[in-house]
Structure 1
Amino acid sequence: MTPRDLPLAVFGAPGHRRIQRLQRALHARGLGRAAAFDYAERLDPSAPPLALPSSDDGAPTMVKLDAPAADAALYERLVRRGHRLLARDGAPPAGIDGHALAHRDLWFAGFADLLRAIAREAEAAAGPVRWLNPVEDILRMGDKWACREALAAAGVDVPPALGRVRSYAHLRALLDAHGCDRVFVKPRYGSAAAGVVAYRRHRDGRELAWTTAEVVGEDGAHAHLFNRLSPQRYTARPRIEALIDALAAQDCYAEAWIPKPRAAGVAGGCFDLRVIAFAGAPRQRMARIAAAPMTNLHLGNRRADPRSLLDEATWATVDATVRAAARVFPESAMIGFDLIPGRDRCVVLEANAFGDDVQHARCDGAEPADDQAEWVLAGLARTPSREARAHG
């Protein structure tokens, strides 16, 4: 099969390392390059009809929908699309700062509409499409509230939910109703810990909020949030109130703060895991160690081999939990799970349809891109013409 014959399309940011790693894995197997499409181009009303690659031997067209680029112009276009789709009052937002945590609900509505439009166009152009992860699974994982509810309904252990949060005052009422003083407040449509708040209150009235969001202004109706790589620590009630109110305006929820295990040999360090499942089975694993509540590696936290931190019983519990969580999305080949490990209980914090961007994570020598390239090979092997030759 020549590079031109490879019936594989990838949508995302063609120059990003995520797609480039997949291209290298395909090349290493003699498969040439996938056709890469930019989401921004598909938003252009004057864009030509989608032309997906195909092969002459009946191989199905395969498609990977990747994460969108962290691009301010693309973000604003998706926000405006969501504003139009949801028929919001007033003029659509404009001039959104590239680091602003703003209009996440509108962004998600716009992104969901774009993915569904791509799916319709792809299937109209190419017939049945084999998706790495289908659109509706991607969107269910991207809606963090819907995702945790789906996992919980399937019996997967997730942090107990206090509920959706309408305001800071409502959060305090939820804490009182549940007899709880430590929670995580999470944007419904967040990713990469953006806007996540680890909140604690004390009986003497003191409060503490750890977050990746910088708060500018102390009026919840007018406060602005900006994503920062260094966690922010707030103790003043007006600032915390503005933070929660601003998140609530974009939809957020609260769930119990589950303590993470200590990382042996790391002073003050606790850890959780990112486990990448492929075809329903756990594959690449990475421990993430941090002194602060957020462990995401892009925040400068440490990575470690989980085998240095887990005993065999805990390892087995993690694997069983990942398999159970992956069954909630049976049509999705690749899912990244964030988990808090334990010997008798493993808590799933998140399922991420774009969770394969973990560098230096391997299983049996294979990176996530290698698993995806093997998925492409398996798809090619199941073409009608090849199956006929195999049985001829």
Structure 2
Amino acid sequence: MSHTTPLVVVGNPGNRRVGAFRTAAHAAGLRVRVLPWRELAAGEEVALPGGATVRIDSPGEDSEVDRLLRGAGRPLDHGEISGGAAWYAGLRTALGRLTAAARRAGATLLNDPADIAVLFDKRAGHRRLAAARVAQPAILDTVPGDWAQLRTALSDVGWARVFVKPVHGSSASGVLALHVHGRRVQAVTSVELAGDGRLFNSLRVRTYRTEREVASIVDRLAPDGLLVQRWFPKAGLLGRVVDVRVLVIAGEPGHVVGRSSDGPLTNLHLGNRRGDPAAVRAAFGPRRWAAALADCVRAARCFTGSLHVGVDLMIGSDWRRHAVAEVNAFGDLLPGVCDAAGRDSYAAQLHAIRTGRFAAWRTRAAMGRSA
């Protein structure tokens, strides 16, 4: 990509992600045109500059885009959790529209829409990682349609602790850390259960201890699809649960963010603290840490049409094992985190494009598939 190559980012104008990428691009002497997600989501005809390089950023944090992707249906209040399957269908339609526009313009997409579609389907993502032998927690083979089916399935396989995740969700939306022991039920989640039964995203993590409440939440989430993942006991440092986000850019894991929590949900937007990745590396040991990073790269190799992916890496409580919790299509918002060369996540991506490393990564992957 030269200074004269048109650079386009598909995103929400004014969003912090788009702003951070534009800052990095301007520092590299590149000008960026923003193609609003609203145009794609609304079904408008979009055109890209000939030969453009196109980055696809998250459609999140915009209520109008969210509404357009969901299409017709009951209007949702701010923060309400509902209609994940409809949102996913709208996302795939919009990505198809973008793919067609890129083909007409001879543009290069830095994120493969097919990769994004898999990454927003947690069951499909799990299958792809499993085929590549990436270490990850087991999941229920059956897809529970409601709380009663989930309870029965857990009893059948003998799992007492699991993570229940909306199959098309992100950012811990709708996720429950569930413990079922006999008649006792406990769910730790950021879901707020309203008096009328509706569910809302909240920045406050809460614990539900009655089966009636937990059943109500699961019954609301289940129609849009669930992934039930066996609990992986995570390591602790200084009395807090820790895991890490590893950003893999063109096959290189150069940015690592530690996450530290009092409970099972470590997402930073829920008020948790950044952990010290150096302390995690030291406690895990160089050999095991290298093996864990190699698994992160193996996970990224499942999505070689994408310049970057964010891998959520869990270290076992015994400090001997690791597992990939999931892979994120838009996991590169890591303010203040730089690689060994001092580049933030966006500058590092631009460097990988301009030096040809991304093209080489794609070529090696294609050769591997044809071998």
> TM-score normalised to the size of structure 1?
0.85
Is the Cα–Cα contact under 8 Å of residues 47 and 101 in structure 2 kept in the other structure? no
Name the residue aligned to 1:373.
350
Structure 2 CA distance for aligned equivalents of residues 380 and 197 of structure 1: 39
Is the Cα–Cα contact under 8 Å of residues 122 and 227 in structure 2 kept in the other structure? no
* Counterpart AA for 2:201: N
Write out per-residue CA displacement over residues 321-378 of structure 1, whole angstroms, 9 at most, x where no aligned residue: 1111111112221000001025543200111110101222211111110112213423
Q: Would you say how many aligned residue pairs link Structure 1 and Structure 2?
A: 352
Deviation at 1:379, TM superposition (A): 5.8
Write out per-residue CA displacement over residues 131-190 of structure 1, whole angstroms, 9 at most, x where no aligned residue: 211100011011111101110121111111113221101111111111111011000000
Structure 2 CA distance for aligned equivalents of residues 202 and 72 of structure 1: 39
Name the residue aligned to 1:74.
65
Name the residue aligned to 2:189.
211
Write out per-residue CA displacement over residues 99-130 of structure 1, whole angstroms, 9 at most, x where no aligned residue: 00010110110011001111102211x12x32
Task: After superposing the two structures, state which structure 1 stretch, 19-28 or 191-200, moved more.
Answer: 19-28
Percent of aligned pairs with the same residue? Answer: 35
Structure 2 CA distance for aligned equivalents of residues 39 and 285 of structure 1: 29
Structure 2 CA distance for aligned equivalents of residues 108 and 167 of structure 1: 20
Structure 1 CA distance for aligned equivalents of residues 83 and 247 of structure 2: 29
* Counterpart AA for 1:157: A
Answering whether residue 13 of structure 2 is matched by residue 37 of structure 1, we say: no
Deviation at 1:2, TM superposition (A): 9.6
Answering whether residue 161 of structure 2 is matched by residue 182 of structure 1, we say: yes
* Counterpart AA for 1:362: C
Name which of 53, 66, 70 aligns with 1:62: 53
Deviation at 1:315, TM superposition (A): 1.9
* Counterpart AA for 2:163: F
Name the residue aligned to 2:149.
170
Name which of 92, 95, 101 aligns with 2:75: 95
Deviation at 1:51, TM superposition (A): 3.2
Matches of residues 51-200 of structure 1 in structure 2 within 5 Å? 51-54=47-50, 60-80=51-71, 92-124=72-104, 126-127=105-106, 129-163=107-141, 164-200=143-179
Name the residue aligned to 1:345.
321
Deviation at 1:68, TM superposition (A): 0.6
Larger Rg: 1
Report the secondary structure of 2:263's partner residue: coil
* Counterpart AA for 1:71: D
Name the residue aligned to 1:316.
290
Give the gaps of 5 or more residues in structure 2. Answer: 360-371
* Counterpart AA for 2:7: L
Going from structure 1 to structure 2, the CA distance change for 1:230 and 1:240 (only over 3 Å counts) comes to same
Is the Cα–Cα contact under 8 Å of residues 321 and 346 in structure 1 kept in the other structure? no
Report the secondary structure of 2:34's partner residue: strand
Name the residue aligned to 1:26.
25
Is the Cα–Cα contact under 8 Å of residues 196 and 212 in structure 1 kept in the other structure? yes
Going from structure 1 to structure 2, the CA distance change for 1:34 and 1:380 (only over 3 Å counts) comes to farther
Deviation at 1:76, TM superposition (A): 1.5
Is the Cα–Cα contact under 8 Å of residues 283 and 363 in structure 1 kept in the other structure? yes
Deviation at 1:223, TM superposition (A): 2.5
Going from structure 1 to structure 2, the CA distance change for 1:381 and 1:347 (only over 3 Å counts) comes to closer
| Backbone CA RMSD of aligned residues | 2.0
Structure 1 CA distance for aligned equivalents of residues 357 and 217 of structure 2: 50
Name the residue aligned to 1:284.
255
